[in-house]
Structure 1
Amino acid sequence: MRWITSISYKNGDGEVALAFAPEIAQFLVQLKKHFTSYQLSKAAALRSTYSWRLFENLERFRETGIWEVDMDRFHTIMETPKSYRRNFNDARRFVIDPALAELAAKTNITAQVEPIRRGRKIDRLRFTFENASQMKLAL
């Protein structure tokens, strides 16, 4: 099956028009609901992998400004070493706090994290955040 039924290019405009087969078009329309989009320029300055992953997940919840995640899922998403999974203080010192600081410095996101306990154990993290309307310029 051909996905694209026709292609046209407008000379001088840098514009390409694609026509998709009806069988494919229905799936493309559904994509609007099941993915996260953000401006790559917002995240391009991030150097830490943890910052990048945190940025992507916060962007998923930008409408609500809250991302709550259980600790196992957080460690899976962030791909932290096993030692950080056993010791929350290390995870906070080497993953969470530096990522939040880099997001504040290099993007328009300001975020805080609240550890949520079940008994003595930290069970979940609640990130609350907002997108500043304009990024700060380094002068």
Structure 2
Amino acid sequence: MKSDKGKNMSDLVVKSNRLNTAIQNLSLVEIRLIQIAIIDSRETQTGLTSDSPLVISAKRYAECFNVEIDTAYDVLLAAESTLFERRFSFVNERDNQVKTRWVSQVEYIRGDGAIEVILTPAVVKEITRINGIENFFTKYTLGQTAVLNSAYSVRLYELVTQWRKATKTHLFDIETFRGQLGLGVNDYQRMSDFKRRVLDSAVAEINEKTDLKISYDQEKKKSKIIGFKFKVSEKERTKSVLKASNGKDCNTADMFTVKGLSDKQIGRIARNAKFMADYNHLVSSTSPAGQDSSAWEFEMTNRLKRDASQFKKRPIRDYLDL
């Protein structure tokens, strides 16, 4: 199995709007695996052909979604049987409905705690033909959806983030919308149940945890709800100011992010003895990061890039001077 050590993966999920709006029924775990597959396939150019499969390790999954390594092993083992069976449909450029799978092959690599996948031609086409016309593609950072605990929340985020520049979406027809969220024909058929158990909870989680603030209006025909339109806006950064220990005024948002820092600087922070002492409790002593300095640096660098707000004992940049 290829080593994860030293990889400097982007966490940008990029796919065509056509793929983004597909009718699908992935679980939360399966959505996350497809997200990793999209990112790593684009970055490494593997998994796109039958002679170049993509390896997704338990370590990679655990670091992306901040779960225990044992949980990641269980996820990958389960995915061997479920992910291959997952199908989706979309409308192609000829205005015909296409039905396909996400992966054409999946294999659990026993002893390595990893799965090896090959994406189907339809998926490859929709994640690789990035030709500079940004209006036709949806992109977001993995960190925004990694914190979401519901497949409905992730799918709604993906659907509305496509409209963040426009600030308002088109009308999501209710039946198509249900399929895009991953609901079956018999799931939450009553509108009150759909709104309470799916839509409202997804909106609330997105508003609480991500960079978007969304709301919706329902559209009716006579007395029947036929769809929803969403308003989408990006949250403003926190503007509160703290008095730093050196007596200077510092913006809170800047103090606890790695924005503007190079990979080399972030690596220095992760290796800093004080940083290690402050955050040693974040990893298990039996995990790779708890036993090996290189694994520690790899994991903490990724955590800092993904969500530095969890490191609040002191301003992040202070570790460069300690």
Same amino acid, percent of matched pairs: 23
Deviation at residue 33 of structure 1 after TM alignment: 4.6
- Matching residue of 1:78: 181
- Matching residue of 1:108: 211
Q: For 1:88 and 1:80, how far apart are their aligned partners in 2?
A: 13
Q: Do structure 1's residue 118 and structure 2's residue 240 form an aligned pair?
A: no
Deviation at residue 29 of structure 1 after TM alignment: 2.4
Flag the 1:88–1:36 CA change in 2: closer, same or farther, 3 A.
Answer: same
Which structure has greater strand proportion?
1
Q: For 1:32 and 1:60, how far apart are their aligned partners in 2?
A: 10
Local SS of the residue matching 1:102: helix
- Matching residue of 1:6: none
Is the Cα contact below 8 Å between 2:163 and 2:232 reproduced in 1?
no
- Matching residue of 1:61: 163
Flag the 1:32–1:95 CA change in 2: closer, same or farther, 3 A.
Answer: same
TM (norm. structure 1) is 0.71
Structure 2 unaligned blocks of 5 or more: 1-7, 9-42, 44-128, 239-252, 254-308, 313-322
- 1:27-86 per-residue CA deviation (whole Å, 9 max, x = no partner) reads 552564532111111111011000000000111111111122110111110122434463
Is the Cα contact below 8 Å between 1:75 and 1:85 reproduced in 2?
no
2:230 aligned to which of 111, 127, 138: 127
Local SS of the residue matching 1:72: helix
Q: For 1:114 and 1:28, how far apart are their aligned partners in 2?
A: 33
RMSD: 2.8
Q: For 1:28 and 1:92, how far apart are their aligned partners in 2?
A: 35
TM (norm. structure 2) is 0.33
Structure whose alpha-carbon radius of gyration is higher:
2
Structure with larger RCO (C-alpha < 8 A, sep 6+): 1
1:99 aligned to which of 199, 202, 210: 202
- Matching residue of 2:154: 52
Structure 1 unaligned blocks of 5 or more: 1-13, 17-26
Q: For 1:48 and 1:134, how far apart are their aligned partners in 2?
A: 25
